[in-house]
């Protein structure tokens, strides 16, 4: 079984490091989107009361609520992608509905799985990624992480036949010469940066604390929830559109018109168009909201123009809480079910005035 949404964080066992080093953006995307990481062999797998407990010989670094992939166990119902219910010492548990109490047999392994994307082309620190969801646009993401130690350069393409050959680029060179910046670090060094990534088979979003206490760098690529189900150009890319450390956040997760592009307008004509996002209200509501002791969130709408709504950011809801009213969270923090937004969520934060406040939450259960 494959679960619909996966999330990853810098402090997971075996997670790739993000530094001001050429190739680190490719290593992160390879691990999270394609290959997975942290393969371990279990010493035992015991089922009791429809809860399975995996035990390992040493600490493994998985986190509660993350997706793990079990293989090699008998009975086979214990294999496949599972969500970690709890993590303690050298054990991790997951739900095993319908499986009788027993000790499983076999050479049992567990890992953090990739998200099922394909790496269509790759050479050194240049790679082209493509979603695998056949109902999605399946457009291509090209990332060149070879020349700039601080940032990868990213661009979408409608089609690609080789690592350097494609049609329908977004953004174009006229819009952002060389493509958007997927920032890793504000300095070329080996200081490890925090990051969090959430993805499904049609899109991903990454928040990287490339600038320390400043605004996070956002990377995203994939389909939006288009208001027109026949929208053949609903694939969005977002990142930084300038070559210096930003003073304000750019990207689709916050109300913005910078660093966000779709391959064509809603008419299907022309080429790459710069778009923005919108969500009403100011970030000033107290947290928790006193009437319901809850977290209040709202959709983030992709705007083709100031008067035209193209769709919504799938799986994402923006917070109405600000740092001055208590809405302060850690990067990639897993939250309880939000009011009006059921299911687990992952915080993609931003910072201002020296504090970290919640930009919004992603559903990590799905489907989106």
- For 222, the domain range is 6-34+115-363
pLDDT score, position 352: 46
58 and 86 in a single domain? The answer is yes
136 and 244 in a single domain? The answer is yes
The secondary structure of 215-236 as a DSSP string is PPEEEEEEE-EESSTT-TT-EE
The residue assigned the tokens 């779709």 is 262
The number of domains in the chain is 2
φ, ψ for residue 321, nearest 5 deg: -95, 145
Decide if pLDDT at 264 tops 70.
Answer: yes
Answer with the one of 112, 133, 161 that is the final residue of a domain. 112
- The CATH number of whichever domain residue 108 belongs to comes to 2.40.30
pLDDT score, position 131: 97
pLDDT tens by residue, 322-364: 666 766 677 678 887 767 777 788 776 554 444 556 677 899 9
CA distance 243 to 206: 19
CA distance 145 to 34: 17
- Nearest CA to 16 out of 153, 195, 148 is that of 195
Residue 229's contacts (CB-CB under 8 Å, 6 or more residues apart) are none
71 and 86 in a single domain? The answer is yes
CA distance 274 to 311: 14
Considering only residues 332 and 198, tell me which one the structure prediction assigns the higher pLDDT.
198
pLDDT score, position 318: 82
The reply to whether 63 falls in a domain is yes
Give helix then strand counts, H and E, for the chain: 1, 29
The reply to whether 323 falls in a domain is yes
Rounded mean pLDDT, 8-31: 97
Rounded mean pLDDT, 56-80: 97
pLDDT score, position 7: 97
Considering only residues 91 and 289, tell me which one the structure prediction assigns the higher pLDDT.
91
122 and 162 in a single domain? The answer is yes
The reply to whether 204 falls in a domain is yes
pLDDT score, position 210: 82
What are the structure tokens assigned to 96, written together? Answer: 């095993």
Give the residue ranges of DSSP H helices in the chain: 24-29
221 and 321 in a single domain? The answer is yes
Burial of 1 (0-12, 13-18, 19+ CB in 10 A): exposed
Give the pLDDT band of residue 268 (cuts 50, 70, 90): very high
pLDDT score, position 343: 79
Decide if pLDDT at 151 tops 80.
Answer: yes
pLDDT score, position 341: 73
Of all residues in the chain, what percent are helix, strand and coil, respectively (each to 5)? 5, 45, 50
pLDDT score, position 249: 55
CA distance 39 to 36: 8
**Mean pLDDT value across the chain:** 89
* Residues of the chain above pLDDT 90, percent: 69
pLDDT score, position 257: 67
108 and 120 in a single domain? The answer is no
Bridge partners for 72 per DSSP: none
351 and 304 in a single domain? The answer is yes
Give the pLDDT band of residue 255 (cuts 50, 70, 90): low
Answer with the one of 112, 130, 161 that is the final residue of a domain. 112
CA distance 162 to 77: 40
Q: In what helix (H) or strand (E) does residue 355 lie, and over which residues does it extend?
A: strand 355-363
pLDDT score, position 361: 86
Q: Please say whether the beta carbons of 152 and 184 come within 8 A.
A: yes
The reply to whether 120 falls in a domain is yes
Rounded mean pLDDT, 74-96: 97
Q: Please say whether the beta carbons of 327 and 334 come within 8 A.
A: no
What are the structure tokens assigned to 312, written together? Answer: 């919504």
Of the candidate ranges 45-59, 177-191, 211-225, 229-243, the one whose mean pLDDT is the lowest: 211-225
pLDDT tens by residue, 89-148: 999 999 999 999 999 999 999 999 999 999 999 999 999 999 999 999 999 999 999 988
Burial of 142 (0-12, 13-18, 19+ CB in 10 A): buried
171 and 252 in a single domain? The answer is yes
Torsion of CA 146, 147, 150, 153, to 10 degrees: -70
Answer with the one of 75, 93, 112 that is the final residue of a domain. 112
């Amino acid at each position: 079984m494959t679960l619909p949404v996966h999330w990853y964080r810098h402090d997971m066992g075996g997670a790739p490091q993000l530094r001001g080093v050429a190739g680190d953006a490719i290593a992160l995307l390879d691990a999270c989107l394609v290959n997975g990481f942290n393969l371990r062999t279990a010493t035992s797998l015991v089922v009791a009361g429809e809860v399975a407990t995996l035990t390992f010989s040493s600490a493994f670094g998985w986190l509660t609520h993350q997706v793990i992939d079990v293989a090699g166990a008998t009975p086979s119902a214990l294999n496949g992608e599972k969500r970690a219910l709890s993590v303690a010492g050298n054990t991790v548990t997951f739900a095993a509905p319908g499986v009788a109490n027993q000790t499983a047999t076999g050479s049992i392994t567990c890992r953090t799985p990739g998200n099922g994307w394909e790496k269509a082309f790759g050479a050194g620190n240049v790679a082209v990624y493509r979603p695998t969801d056949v109902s999605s646009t399946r457009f291509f993401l090209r990332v060149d992480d070879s020349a700039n130690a601080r940032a990868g350069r990213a661009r979408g393409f409608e089609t690609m036949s080789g690592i350097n050959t494609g049609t329908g680029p977004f953004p174009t060179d006229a819009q952002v010469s060389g493509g958007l910046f997927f920032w890793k670090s504000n300095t070329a060094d080996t200081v490890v940066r925090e990051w969090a990534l959430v993805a499904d088979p049609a899109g991903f979003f990454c928040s990287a604390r490339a600038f320390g206490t400043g605004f996070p760098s956002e990377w995203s690529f994939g389909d939006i929830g288009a208001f027109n189900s026949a929208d053949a150009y609903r694939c969005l890319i977002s990142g930084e559109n300038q070559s210096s450390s930003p003073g304000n956040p750019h990207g689709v997760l916050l109300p913005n018109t910078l660093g966000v592009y779709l391959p064509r307008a809603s008419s299907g004509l022309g080429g790459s168009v710069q778009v923005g996002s919108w969500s009403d209200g100011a970030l000033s509501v107290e947290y928790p909201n006193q009437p319901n002791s809850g977290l209040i969130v709202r959709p983030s709408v992709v705007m083709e123009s100031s008067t035209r709504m193209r769709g919504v950011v799938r799986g994402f809801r923006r917070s109405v809480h600000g740092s001055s009213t208590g809405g302060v969270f850690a990067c990639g923090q897993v939250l309880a079910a939000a009011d009006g937004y059921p299911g687990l969520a992952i915080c993609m934060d931003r910072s201002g005035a020296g504090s970290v406040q919640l930009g919004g939450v992603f559903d990590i259960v799905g489907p989106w």
